[in-house]
């Protein structure tokens, strides 16, 4: 089951956050203790794209950027992720012809269109071994920063600059997975996606801790925007922050007449889409959603409904691509040093 994050997470700390703070303190301490455990090492570079909070921040577009970068320079990168929302548990090589979001999760399907192979499953160390045996040159982890089972050679924390870390509390009192400063201290850099004072506050903390701060935005596909121009649009999304998707459509000057938000990783049912289609038809509108949501519409139950839904893909547009490349080089150098020390 997927749930909307509580509204008080994104407001200044109040009574609800205070009441839940002791639970958050215990969860945060446990998470930080787990993060100090030594993970299994593999003989290829491991780059982890994580975030300090729960919910969407831009990890998957960042992982896609690295996968495309590595592939274009002759590498054979494998993507490694848990497969959130899918039924997979043991490591599984994702097959676009066989697997759907119910099996492996929506992010795995998106990544599988860019990486030679995607390995999904909760056993990240086992997934890494599988990737190495299959000839991977690099591992790009989508999430897993707080998971200690696999040693990382470099880690990048991604933060949505519009909302930052919300009320700054650890879940369930707030959106943080653990206290912020210790998380940043264990990362190599912080990537702020978008703009906002909340992100600037995170940047100041990272800089005080001596960590590199990078910036990027999510750029919608120009071709998709052109195809949507002139249409009345009913947008729907079940991502970490659906409002970010709606704002993107409006920023492009598109005619957005209705918005429907679902919880993150929402498992769409036929009734959901048929209700949306009826509402759009009444308004003479076209349904439009995100690439991640469209991946979840590829199940056998819903596949026939996809044709009437437009999709707006986005990609990461970093301000300084060379700085992201430098982080990859750091991961490669550390992996090489690890192997030399064996």
Are 95 and 103 in contact, with CB atoms under 8 Å apart? no
Torsion, Cα of 268, 271, 276, 282 (10° steps): 170
pLDDT value, residue 342: 62
What residues contact residue 149 under an 8 Å CB cut-off, 6+ apart?
39, 40, 123, 124, 125
Are 268 and 275 in contact, with CB atoms under 8 Å apart? no
pLDDT value, residue 176: 97
pLDDT value, residue 105: 86
Adjacent-strand bridge partners of 157: 50, 190
pTM of the model: 0.92
Q: How far apart are CA 83 and CA 62, in angstroms?
A: 17
The DSSP code sequence of 279-338 is HHHHTT-EEEEEHHHHHHTTSTTTGGGGGGEEEE-EEEEES-HHHHHHHHHHHHHHHHHH
Q: How far apart are CA 165 and CA 169, in angstroms?
A: 8
Biggest CA-to-CA distance, the chain: 67
Q: Is 338 left (phi over 0), alpha (psi -120 to 50) or beta?
A: alpha
pLDDT value, residue 3: 56
Listed residue (107, 93, 97) closest to 49, CA to CA: 107
Are 91 and 130 in contact, with CB atoms under 8 Å apart? yes
**Tens of pLDDT, residue by residue, the chain (342 residues):** 455 779 899 999 899 999 999 999 999 999 999 999 999 999 999 999 999 999 878 999 999 999 999 999 999 999 999 988 788 888 999 998 888 888 898 889 989 987 778 999 989 999 999 999 999 999 999 999 999 999 999 999 999 999 999 999 999 999 999 999 999 999 999 999 999 999 999 999 999 999 999 999 999 999 999 999 999 999 999 988 899 999 999 999 999 999 999 988 888 999 999 999 999 999 999 999 999 999 889 887 888 889 899 999 999 999 999 999 999 999 999 999 988 876
Q: How far apart are CA 279 and CA 84, in angstroms?
A: 30
Are 228 and 310 in contact, with CB atoms under 8 Å apart? yes
Provide the 3-class DSSP secondary structure of residue 212: strand
């Amino acid at each position: 089951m997927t749930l909307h994050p509580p509204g008080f997470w994104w407001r200044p700390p109040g009574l609800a956050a205070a009441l839940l703070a002791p639970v958050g303190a215990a969860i945060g301490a446990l998470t930080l203790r787990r993060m100090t455990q030594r993970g299994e090492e593999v003989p290829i570079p491991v780059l982890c794209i994580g975030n300090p909070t729960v919910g969407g921040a831009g990890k998957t577009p960042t992982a896609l950027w690295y996968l495309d970068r590595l592939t274009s320079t002759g590498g054979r990168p494998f993507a490694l992720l848990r497969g959130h929302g899918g039924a997979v548990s043991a490591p599984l090589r994702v097959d676009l012809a066989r697997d759907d979001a119910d099996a492996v999760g929506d992010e795995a399907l998106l990544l599988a269109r860019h990486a030679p192979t995607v390995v999904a499953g909760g056993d990240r160390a086992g997934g890494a071994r599988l990737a190495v045996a299959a000839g991977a040159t690099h591992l790009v982890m989508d999430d897993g920063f707080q998971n200690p089972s696999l040693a990382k050679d470099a880690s990048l924390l991604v933060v949505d600059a519009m909302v930052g870390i919300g009320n700054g509390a650890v879940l369930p009192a707030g959106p943080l997975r653990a206290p912020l400063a210790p998380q940043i201290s264990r990362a190599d850099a912080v990537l702020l996606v978008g703009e906002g004072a909340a992100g600037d506050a995170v940047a100041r903390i990272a800089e005080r801790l001596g960590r590199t701060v990078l910036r990027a935005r999510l750029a919608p596909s120009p071709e998709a925007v052109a195809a949507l121009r002139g249409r009345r649009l009913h947008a729907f999304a079940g991502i970490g922050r659906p409002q970010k998707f709606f704002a993107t459509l409006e920023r492009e000057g598109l005619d957005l007449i209705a918005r429907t938000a679902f919880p993150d990783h929402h498992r769409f049912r036929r009734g959901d889409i048929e209700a949306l289609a009826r509402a759009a038809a009444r308004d003479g509108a076209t349904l439009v959603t995100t690439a991640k949501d469209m991946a979840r519409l590829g199940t056998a139950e819903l596949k026939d409904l996809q044709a009437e839904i437009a999709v707006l893909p986005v990609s990461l547009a970093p301000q300084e691509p060379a700085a992201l490349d430098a982080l990859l080089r750091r991961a490669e150098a550390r992996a090489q040093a690890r192997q030399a020390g064996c």
